[in-house]
């Protein structure tokens, strides 16, 4: 069975597109539409990797990330940030909090995102 990726993304269409791409590449995909659901699914499902948006209703991506890293049960799960924000401050904050990569949505194609995921899972 393929590795399990959790997509935390509030935009329905973006979620649909990236999930489709990932399943097409042989990954098992799980989805969360906000930070709260994201944290819950990470704890319950222990995915192999989390694709995390930053601007989310309620608990934002940065908070989700710090929660994952605080919990020893989930701290080792690699997180790739996939965001609209591209300011250096935000990128640095994400990396500091423990994200393995920081991708700006409009600058990466789904194919390139899959490559990044594969690299992070190696």
Partner 1 sequence: MNQNQNKSNILGGPEIITERDIRLAILNILEDSEEEKRIAENERDKTKAIINNLADGLIIINGENRIFLINPQAEKLLRVRQEEIGGEVLSDLIKFSSLEKLAGLLVSKKELFREELILKEPKELILEVTTTTLPRREEKIVILRDVSREKLIDRMKTEFVSFAAHQLRAPLAAIKWAIKMFLEGDLGKVTKEQRGFLEKTYQTNEKLILLVNDLLNVTRMEEGRYLYKPILADIVKITQSVIDSYKEGIQKKKVKFELKKPKEKLPEVLVDLEKIKLVIDNLLSNAIKYTPSDGKVTITIARAKKEIEFSIKDTGIGIPKDQKEKVFSKFFRGTNALKTGAEGTGLGLFITKNIVEAHEGKIWFESEEGKGTTFFFTLPIPSNLTTRK
Nearer to partner 1, 11 or 101 (CB): 11
What is residue 35's three-state secondary structure? Answer: helix
Shortest reach from residue 106's CB to partner 1, in Å:
4
Q: Report whether 11 contacts 82 (CB < 8 A).
A: no
Within 2-41, the residues that bind partner 1 by CB under 8 A are: 11, 13-14, 17-18, 20-21, 24
Distance CA 22, CA 17 (A): 9
Tokens of 18: 């990236």
Distance CA 112, CA 110 (A): 5
- In what helix (H) or strand (E) does residue 110 lie, and over which residues does it extend? helix 110-121
Shortest reach from residue 44's CB to partner 1, in Å:
28
Nearer to partner 1, 24 or 70 (CB): 24
Within 64-93, the residues that bind partner 1 by CB under 8 A are: 84, 87-89
Binding site for partner 1 (CB under 8 A): 11, 13-14, 17-18, 20-21, 24, 84, 87-89, 105-107, 109-111
């Amino acid at each position: 069975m393929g590795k399990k990726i959790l997509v935390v993304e509030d935009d329905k269409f973006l979620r649909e597109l990236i999930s489709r791409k990932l399943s097409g590449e042989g990954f098992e995909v799980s989805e969360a539409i906000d930070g709260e659901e994201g944290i819950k699914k990470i704890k319950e499902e222990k995915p192999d990797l989390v694709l995390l948006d930053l601007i989310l209703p309620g608990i934002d991506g940065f908070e989700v990330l710090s929660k994952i890293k605080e919990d020893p049960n989930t701290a080792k799960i690699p997180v790739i940030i996939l965001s609209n924000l591209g300011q250096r401050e935000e990128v640095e904050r994400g990396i500091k909090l423990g994200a393995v990569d920081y991708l700006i949505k409009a600058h990466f194609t789904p194919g390139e995102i899959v490559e990044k995921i594969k690299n992070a899972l190696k």
